[in-house]
A and B are shown apart, each in its own frame.
Chain A
C-alpha cells in the first residue's frame, strides 16, 4: 500500500503544478486589473502605473511566469495585492485554521447525523418516521445553502435571538476566561455548522439508508439474529459496519465540498477563513492570493481522493491496493 500511496503522491506533484500554471494564465487573461481601484477621479493616473510596476505586472507575461515559477519553486507564493502586501502564506496561515475548524465540525456533524438518520430510516423502512425523514432529507438537500443561512440568521438571531449572527466571538470575549472563550466560540459556530452540515447530512443519510437496507437482507444478518444476538448488536456491530463501507469513501471526497461550502458561509457569517479570502481575492484580482488558494484547494481535492481510496482499503480487507 505504501508504494501505491507513494506513486499517487508522485503523480500529484505535476498535476498540482499544471493546475497552478493554468490558473496563472487564466486569471491574467480574465478582464479586470489589480490596480483598478486606483483609477478614479482625484487620484493621479501615475498611481495605477506605479502600483502595476510594484506588482511586476508591466513585464511580458512569459517573464512574469518565469519569475513566479522561480519563486514558487523556492516556496515563495509572493505577497498579496489586496491585503496590504502581507505574504500570501501568512494570509493563508491565519485563515486556514478557521476553515479547518468549520470543516472538521461540519464533517463530524455530517456523518453523525447522516448515519443516525440513515440507520433509523432503514431499520424502520416505510414507516411514517422513515418517510418523514426521507422527505425532510430531500427538502434540505435541495435547499440553496446561502438562502438557508440567511433564513437561519433571521430566525435564530433576529426573531428568536438565541444565536449570534456573525463573527467568531462576542465583544470582550477575552474576559470570559479560556473556557468561556471556547464556549463563546462554539456558540458562534452553531448556526454556520448547522447550515453547512444539514445539507451534507441529508445526502449521507440517503447513502446510509440504501446501503443499510441492502445489508440487512444479507444471510449473515439472519444468522446473527438466529444466534439470538440482541437486535441492537445485530444492527450496530454486524449490519452498520458493513453498510458503512461505501460511506467511508465519501469522507475523503466530501472534504473539498465542505471547503467550497465554507466559501459563502464565511462571507455571510463574517468569518475570516479561506472562503472569504478566496472570494475577496477573486473580486480584487489579487493574483498571488488566487494562485495560492488554488494550490490549497487543489491539494485538498487530490489528498481527499487519495484518502478515500486508502480508507477503503483499510476498512475492507478484500480491496488490495
Chain B
C-alpha cells in the first residue's frame, strides 16, 4: 500500500517536474525573443552604437571639476577647445594648433585643427602676454555664439578656491598667482568677443603658455547664475551645454551614459557614429567576456595573459597599444625615515642609504625575467622616469644595468655586507632584512614582487612581501612609514619632476624616498627656464644619467598600455595623448546582415 502510494506520488512528481521544465523552457524562449542579441537578427541598435566599457562612471560633466578618466574622455567629445594638440611621435613633442597657426612644423599631423576655436595667436617677445584671435562662427549647442568672455568666465571658475578645481595648477603662471590669488582683472581679459588675452607674472615658454591657457571653457550665459558654493551640487553638471561633435543623450548613473552625434555641430562636424555608449562594468573578467562576445567594442588595459584568448575569440578583436607612459619601480627609503620623523634630521638609511647598495639591488633583480614572464613584448626596461616615447629628451645612450647576482654580491661586500650565520647578509650586527610593501589588487606587481623576493634571497637578502589596501598603502607612503615598496607612476607629457625628486622634502610632496641631490634640482630649474624645450635637452640627458647612477629607486619597466578593439571599428588612430583622440572620425562596419 505504502509503496503503491509512494509510486503514485513519484509519478505525479515526475509529471509536475516535467511541467515545470516545460514552463521554464517556454519562459526562456519568450525571454530570448525579448532580449534579441545585436547582430544576430537583422539591423539592431548595436549597428549604430559604439560601446566603450569603463571601470567607473563619469562624475561631473563639467570640465572645471570633473576628475574621473571617463569624464575626461567625454569632455573631449561634448566641449569645444581653444586649440587642438597632436603628439609628434618622431620627436615626442606636443604640437598645438589653431585654425591658421601651429606651434611647430613637420612631424605627423594626424588631425586637421578644424575643431580649434582659435584662429591664431600672438605671443609677446617678453613671453608674458599671449593673445588669442578667436573664430566668430562657433556656437554653443543652444545657438549662442562662443565668445572670449566665456573663457574669462571659465578661468575665474577654475581659479575659485571655493570650487576647488583639480586643474587650478594651470593658472599658476597667471598674473597675481605669485602672490597667492590670480588677479583676473589683468590676467585674463576679453578685449572684444574674438580677442582673448592672458598675462603671466613671469616669462613662460610658448608651449607651456599654450598648454596652460587651453583649458576647456564653459558657456557663461548658461552657468552665470550658479553660485560658487553651489557649483558642485548644480544639476547643470548632469545636463551640460557644449559645442562638440556629440551631445548628451541620456545618463543612467553608474550604468550607462549615451552621447548622440550633434547634428548642428561645426567644431569640426557631427560625429560619424550616431550613438556612443559608455558602459560601466567594474569587473575585468566580465569586460573581457563581453568584448569576446561582441557585446562591447572597446576595453582598455587588457592584461597580457589574455591576448591569446582574445585573438581567437568568436568576434575578432584587435589589440592596440599607445606609447609608454606608465612605469613600475621599487622604492627604497634613501634616508633614515624614523630619525627624520622623530628629530627632523636627515641621515642615510641603514640599509638603502648608499647609492652603491641601491645599484647592487637593481643588478640583483632580474627585470628582464619579470618582463618576459608577464609583459612580454609590451614592456621595456626603464632607467629613469623620462619615457622613451619623449624622444626629444630621452637619453638613449644609457645602458640598463644587466642582471648580475655575482656582481651585486661583490658590491654589497665592498659596502661591508657579509653573510651571517643564517645566510642573511649582515653589517655591524644589522641583518639585511626588510618588508617590501605593495598595493592590493595589482596582478602585475604581485607577479614582480615574488620574483624580486627570490632574486634578493639568492644574494642573502631577506625580503618579506606585504600587500596593503590601496588607501592604506598610499597614506603610509605619504607619511614615510615604509622602507621599501613597489609602486608605479603615470607620467604627463610635459616633464616636471621636482615634486618627485626635489631636495626640499617639505615641498616635494612625492619624494617618498627622501632622495636629495642639489645638482638634480639645478638641472630641473635650468631646463624649466629654457623657452625652447629642445634647448633643455642637455639638462635632461644629464638628469637621466644622474638618476641612473644614484638609483634612488630601482626603475623596473615601462608598460605599453594595451586596448582591445572590436574589428568593426574603422578609422581609429590611437595616440599617446589619448585612446579616443579622433573618436569623432571613427566609423562602424555594419553587421553582416545589413550588408547589401
Contact = CB atoms under 8 A, between A and B. Distances in A.
Contacts of B167: 43
Contact of A172 (B13, B45, B161): B45
Interface of A is mostly: helix
Contact of A41 (B37, B472, B510): B510
A307 interface: no
B169 A235 contact: no
Contacts of A231: 5-6, 8-9
Interface in A12-47: 31-33, 36-39, 41-47
A232 interface: yes
Interface stretch (A56-64, A99-107, A179-187, A310-318): A179-187
Contacts of B478: 39
A267 interface: yes
B169 A43 contact: yes
A37 B67 contact: yes
Contact of A176 (B34, B49, B161): B34
B9 A41 contact: no
Interface stretch (A159-167, A203-211, A289-297): A159-167
Contacts of A268: 282-283, 285-286
Interface residues of A, number: 70
Interface in B27-59: 30-38, 44-46, 49, 51, 59
Nearest to B30: A183
B259 to A, nearest CB: 13
B15 to A, nearest CB: 11
A95 B253 CA distance: 10
B173 to A, nearest CB: 13
Interface in B368-414: none
A190 B232 CA distance: 38
A231 B233 CA distance: 66
Interface string A162-178: 10111110111101100
Contact of A167 (B5, B233, B279): B279
A319 interface: no
Contact of A171 (B237, B253, B277, B509): B277
Interface stretch (B289-297, B299-307, B548-556, B581-589): B289-297
Contact of B31 (A84, A173, A187, A276): A187
B45 A276 contact: no
Contact of B282 (A158, A175, A270): A270
B254 interface: yes
A292 B41 CA distance: 45
Nearest to B288: A158
B38 A171 contact: yes
A47 B51 contact: no
A86 B235 CA distance: 9
Contacts of B279: 167, 270
Given A165-B290, A170-B37, A272 B168 contact: no
Interface string A77-94: 001001111100000001
Nearest to B281: A270
B126 interface: no
A268 B290 CA distance: 12
B385 to A, nearest CB: 11
Nearest to B287: A166
Nearest to A51: B164
A231 B13 CA distance: 11
B169 to A, nearest CB: 4
A50 B164 contact: yes
Contacts of B165: 47
Contact of A166 (B46, B166, B290, B474): B290
A54 interface: yes
A217 B391 CA distance: 85
A31 B32 contact: no
Interface in B148-166: 161-162, 164-166
Interface string B463-501: 000000111101110100000000001001000100110
Nearest to B27: A186
A236 to B, nearest CB: 10
6 contacts: A41-B492, A41-B510, A158-B289, A172-B38, A268-B286, A270-B286
Given A167-B281, A231-B9, A272-B252, 17 more contacts: A31-B476, A46-B164, A50-B161, A54-B164, A85-B233, A123-B6, A171-B38, A171-B45, A171-B277, A183-B30, A187-B31, A187-B34, A188-B35, A225-B5, A231-B8, A272-B254, A276-B282
Interface of A: 31-33, 36-39, 41-47, 50-51, 54, 79, 82-86, 94-95, 120, 123-124, 150, 153-154, 157-158, 161-162, 164-168, 170-173, 175-176, 179-184, 186-188, 190, 225, 230-232, 235, 267-270, 272, 276-277, 283, 285
